[in-house]
Chain A
């Protein structure tokens, strides 16, 4: 479904992605973790080409991103992206946030798009907020709307870039549970997160990144019990008991 083959990326002289080789299969939930600046956000942003790659090959859902002829808009329509900062459209109601892309891109009728939006809002538990504006919602609610907005295009892949990092602690659960349901429904997901509870319970595989490279790649039970690298051990220790 997603295939990184020897992918490199530089920001000026900084080597942010260094020889990434990764394969995500259909229906798989991959959690990417690592210290800040390790390149994990850049990695996930290359998958829908918010960041173009400089070298190597990247194939997503059968489309080759290294090929200039690939219709990038078509790819992005098939790949949902959820941002740390939600990025809802502040001038549009919740309903319009969700229905805009299906109406403009898929040529769905307004009525049909709204029905679908209501189904999605039910799924994320926010049917009563259909006419609200983003500024009237809590962070957790905004992020759930953002997930609904991404799902409205019926994507084949969902990408989450630290979806809970900007949330107050008591709102993290509601977003994670929506993501967990999504994973159960068989969605292919790549999730950059520090929520190790989520990784342990939902992920099929955990990738640990440091300094632009994939240091470790393992099933969650293996990764958490027995990390192979010092850097990963250190990271987990800090994350699980930040006081020490």
Chain B
């Protein structure tokens, strides 16, 4: 019974865990974690698509710089990218809010990985599809838009899901630059109460699990809806 009663610390701080000081202060906790994940997810979807398309370009002066950029980002730990943005962006733009810094870092990092999923998805479509499309007079970008991407994107969905699940968990690194998302809020409460680290970090782990599981389930449902009739 005493173990269960220790979880009272969660109940006492539940609102703070969920939304931080909102609406009296900035959004924090789970709310901010979701905000970081969703925003970076949407941005890096388009960033990854763009980088992926650039990296399969037939023009070397487009594909080589994009591959170089992708490899540099992929060769760095996410934490380094966050630090990098944290010091670089204010140097360029003057002040730069930490939340946006983290979104930028997550977007750059995830886009680099996404681009290679996009690249593999495009290259996985049989060569004959592009040939058939351009043979009817479609320009390459039209063939890409109407023929290759619709087929490729569907094949990319499982890898996208993987990447975005990683992204949800990666938002926890934002705590290093003082962004009050779930992990940051958890450490704050832990520092204040001192006595319940196990309970607090079990709770945080469960919340991350629920977020990731919800996202995986959502995308599985979406995948089913996007399926077109395949060979029997």
Contacts and interface: CB of A to CB of B under 8 A. Distances in A.
A136 B131 CA distance: 22
A73 B137 contact: yes
Interface string B152-165: 00100000000000
Contacts of B151: 89-91
A146 B232 CA distance: 21
Interface in A67-85: 73-74, 76-81, 83, 85
Contact of B136 (A74, A133, A135, A149): A149
A81 B138 CA distance: 13
Contacts of B154: 91
A95 interface: no
A153 B137 contact: yes
Contacts of B132: 81, 83, 87-89, 146
A50 B228 contact: no
Interface stretch (A26-34, A100-108, A118-126, A202-210): A100-108
A48 to B, nearest CB: 6
Interface in B103-156: 126, 128-129, 131-139, 142, 146-147, 150-151, 154
Given A87-B129, A89-B147, A105 B229 contact: no
A150 interface: yes
Nearest to A76: B137
A79 B131 CA distance: 13
Interface in A191-222: none
A168 B132 CA distance: 22
B230 A73 contact: no
Interface string A103-115: 0110000000000
A85 B126 CA distance: 11
B228 A101 contact: no
Size range of the interface on A? 20 to 34
Contact of A48 (B135, B147, B231, B232): B135
Contact of A85 (B128, B146, B231): B128
B229 A100 contact: no
A41 B189 CA distance: 71
- Interface centre among B129, B137, B138, by most chain A C-beta atoms within 10 angstroms, is B137
Nearest to B132: A87
B230 A74 contact: no
Contacts of B126: 85, 87
Contacts of A153: 136-137
A136 B135 contact: no
A88 B131 CA distance: 11
A76 B134 contact: yes
A180 B126 CA distance: 30
A87 B136 contact: no
A136 B146 CA distance: 21
Given A104-B146, A135-B231, A74 B135 contact: no
B228 A76 contact: no
A127 to B, nearest CB: 20
Given A83-B128, A87-B128, A77 B136 contact: yes
A73 B138 contact: yes
A128 B131 CA distance: 27
Given A89-B132, A100-B146, A77 B230 contact: no
B142 A104 contact: yes
Contacts of B142: 104
Contacts of B146: 100, 104
Contacts of A50: 131, 134-135
Interface string A49-66: 010000000000000000
A41 to B, nearest CB: 12
B136 A90 contact: no
Given A87-B129, A89-B129, A104-B146, A73 B139 contact: yes
Interface in B6-64: none
B156 to A, nearest CB: 14
A44 to B, nearest CB: 11
B136 A100 contact: yes
| Pairs A-B, 7 closest by C-beta atoms | A77-B137, A87-B132, A101-B136, A81-B135, A87-B128, A135-B231, A76-B137
29 contacts: A50-B131, A50-B134, A76-B135, A76-B137, A77-B136, A77-B137, A78-B137, A80-B135, A81-B131, A81-B132, A83-B128, A83-B132, A87-B131, A87-B132, A89-B132, A90-B230, A91-B151, A100-B136, A101-B136, A105-B138, A133-B228, A135-B229, A135-B230, A135-B231, A135-B232, A146-B132, A149-B136, A150-B135, A153-B136
